[in-house]
Amino acid sequence: MEHPIIDRALATADSLKEILSGVSAQELESVLQELVRVRRESRRVYITAAGRANLVMRTFAMRLMQIGLTSYVVSDTNTPAIQAGDLLIAGSGSGITETVAVIARQAKETGARIILISKSAGSPLARLADTVLQIPTGRRTRKLQTRGSEFEHSLFVLCDSIGVELRNH
């Protein structure tokens, strides 16, 4: 028996497949190489985002820790100060989230490297980042979910897949 919720969920999965197929392999490889560098040099990874994207990025921080990297979520009580050579990974769909931008600017001033995962490759945060991984949302013709949800769902699947690839790398 079909149900409208199952139909919507399956259509959403198809939509995510379309979004993720538009992600640049070159950008993904750059992100992977940054993470490999951090692991090789025994540096630390810091994660930051705001709102619902923050929840998704927290799962990424945990995944990185589970595969052997030293990772922290910015603003947690046990997070040490970022240092030169460390890596900040920021998630911001818009690329203009001010709290994330402040953290990224401070990290840049210390000599940390920055990866931005965003749907906005030309944003102020993207210009600050060393590496940008664009998630090309907003191309849907049929509204299955809000644009924010498209980004967050894609972010989760992509970050988890990065973790699996890094574990196997």
- Residues noted as catalytic: 152
Q: Name the phi and psi angles at 51, rounded to 5.
A: 60, -145
The β-bridge relationship of strands 113-118 and 131-134 is parallel
What are the tokens at 117?
Answer: 């995962």
Spatial distance between the Cα atoms of 31 and 145, rounded to a whole number of angstroms: 27
Q: How many CB atoms lie within 10 A of CB 134?
A: 19
Spatial distance between the Cα atoms of 12 and 9, rounded to a whole number of angstroms: 5
Report, in this order, helix, strand and coil percent for the chain, each rounded to 5: 55, 15, 30
